[in-house]
Every structure is written in C-alpha cells, then in structure tokens.
Amino acid sequence: MSNEWYTASAPGKFVVLGEHAVVYGKPALVLAMDRRISCSVRRSKRNTLNGEPLDFNRQPHFRYLTRDLRYAMDFVTNSEIPAGSGLGSSAALSAALALALKEESGRQMTEKQLVDEAYGAELYAQGNGSPMDASACVHGGGIAVNLPESTGKHLWNISRGNRSWNVTEMNVPKMTFVVGNTGIRAPTGPLVDKVRRFTNRSHFAVDIVDEIGNITIEGYDALRNNDVETLGRIMTMDHKLLSILGVSCNELNRLVNATLPYAYGAKLTGSGGGGCMVALTDTPEKVASVIESRGGTAYIVQTGSQGARSELEMSTDPLMDIPMDP
C-alpha cells in the first residue's frame, strides 16, 4: 500500500450579479476568489478525516465522491473559506476532493467531468441547487450562467430533469472586491422557497426577477470592459431589488450601506438572509475597516484566481499540519 499523498485545491467564489433570478433561467455572473480549500488523500487501512475516524453519514460529499472506491483512505482538508457563508466552501471542497481522488487513481478527467463530479456531490449533499458554484470553483476566473447565446466563450451545458444551464467563460480584468461576512448562517433552500412563493402570488415579484436578469446582462458588459463605475452602480441596484424580494437582512443592509461611501457599489452575495456581502472598490483597506467596525469579518479578494488544480509539491505530511486541541 502506497503512503504517497495526493493533494488538490479549489477556490471559493462569490456571485457578482444574478442570484435568485438564476433559479428562473435568468443570467448570473460568478467570480472565483483567491481563498482556497485543499484536500490531500492517500490509501490507508481505515477511513479517516483530519486524523479522526471518518463518519460518512456526516460527510455526504465524501460518501458520494468515494462511492466507487474499494479501499480505505486518509483525508486531510484545509480551508481558507468560511463554511456556510455563501462563498462556495462546499463546492470548492467537492472540486478539490474529486481532483485529488482522480490524481490518486491515475484516472483521466476533463474539466467538464470534474464539474459533473463536484456538482453531483453538491446535489447528493444538499438535494437541490445549480451547477453555478461547481463550475466557478473548477474553472476559476469568472463564469456566467444563462447568458444569451453567442455571448462569451461556451464552456458546457448541464441538465438535470427539466432544468438546463449554459455556462460560459468571462474574461475578467483585474479588480478588487471586499467580502464582508455577517457571521449569520442562513440555509439556501428556505430563501429560494420564499422567493418562489412571492413570484407565484405576485406579478410584481416576477417583474423584479426579470429586472435582475436585465441588469445582469448590463453588468456583464461593464465587467468585461473594466467599467467599475457602471458595474458598481448595477451591483447596488441589484441589492435593492434582492431586498425587495425579501432575501436581505438588517445585518447585510448595515454592511452594504456602510461601505457605499468608499466603494463603486455593494450588494449581498449568495442566497442572503445572512452570509456575506461584497463591495467593489479601489480602497479595499478602508472598506475592510468599515466592515470590521460594523461587526463583520472582511476579506480583501482579487479577481483572476486559478480554478481547481493539483498541488504537486508537498514538503510535509499534511497530518502534521492539523492543529492539536489545547
């Protein structure tokens, strides 16, 4: 049995425009962020996670991605992405784990097949969702979902049941964003259901969803052209529309409003109800300071992050890097 470790990593992500509306076939823009999750694997006599026995009932991503294995493994994970914050920690873990397992087995896998594996793990663990997060974490840089045909470089189509997503690549110029984490964990499903109930009973809500789709296309052009002023204005407009849909909260609004004097624009990112907001700015230290002063946790992030990748050079045993309890 080989004791060789195989390691891969994948970036987190944040939604620039289009969350919630993407559920109804509208476009969304997603950027990979320069905070990553890594996963190391090696064959073992028993299944362990970070040095402890692995309970697959509590780790559905691991259960799904190891479904074809006929031997036990040690797994070690290390994350720079806060869990439950809407920053793609689950999709990044799935992508990194799937790639590490591919490297260990010597199998060949295309980028699209890696997305399918990561998205499959997401569906197995959560029961619903789109391939938006998995695509961004695997491909890196920036991706768009459901843009009009002939817009952008086509990457892949993914279908589940009667739903289909067209994923294209975005050429993203260098930009600086500051993510503000409220520290509130809000499950995605109930918020999606809340918007669905609203749209089912109100034409006004349907119009809001349509408007989010329209401004997302405008935002795509602004992002591609490095027009930060227009993109920021559209981000702020999107936050107001999402607030009307009822998916923001006082903590998110407080952080968004506090950063606007020092940013081109700001909005919640992800499903809302807590989690994170994001501001586009050229004074990131000032914006981060404002977020921290309002009780949030700030992360300064840059665009252009590489997608899922193998980490070939390892100087130490990853088990040696696991913090010990005091």
Report strand pairing: 48-49 vs 72-79: parallel
E strands in 141-286? 142-145, 153-160, 163-170, 176-181, 265-269, 276-280
6-171 fold:
Ribosomal Protein S5; domain 2 (3.30.230)
Task: List where CATH 3.30.70.890 sits in the chain.
Answer: 176-302
How buried is 70 (Cβ within 10 angstroms: 0-12 exposed, 13-18 middle, 19+ buried)?
A: exposed
Phi, psi of 233 (to 5 degrees): -60, -40
Query: What is the CB neighbour count within 10 angstroms for residue 222?
Result: 19
Prediction pTM value? 0.90
CATH 3.40.50.300 fits 176-302, yes or no: no
* pLDDT tens series, the chain, 326 aa: 567 899 999 999 999 999 998 888 899 999 999 999 999 999 999 999 999 999 999 999 999 999 999 999 999 999 999 888 889 899 999 999 999 999 999 888 999 999 999 999 988 988 777 889 999 999 999 999 998 876 778 999 998 888 888 999 998 999 999 999 999 987 777 888 888 899 899 999 999 999 999 999 999 999 999 999 999 999 999 999 999 999 999 999 999 999 999 999 999 998 888 899 999 999 999 999 999 999 999 999 999 899 999 997 554 566 655 554 43
Q: 10 Å Cβ neighbour count for 199? A: 19
CB 137 within 8 A of CB 91: yes
Whether the CA torsion 217, 261, 173, 94 is positive or negative: it is negative
Domain with CATH 3.30.230.10 in the chain: 6-171
The bridge status of strand 276-280 relative to strand 265-269 is antiparallel
Give the rounded distance of the alpha carbon of 237 from its chain centre.
22
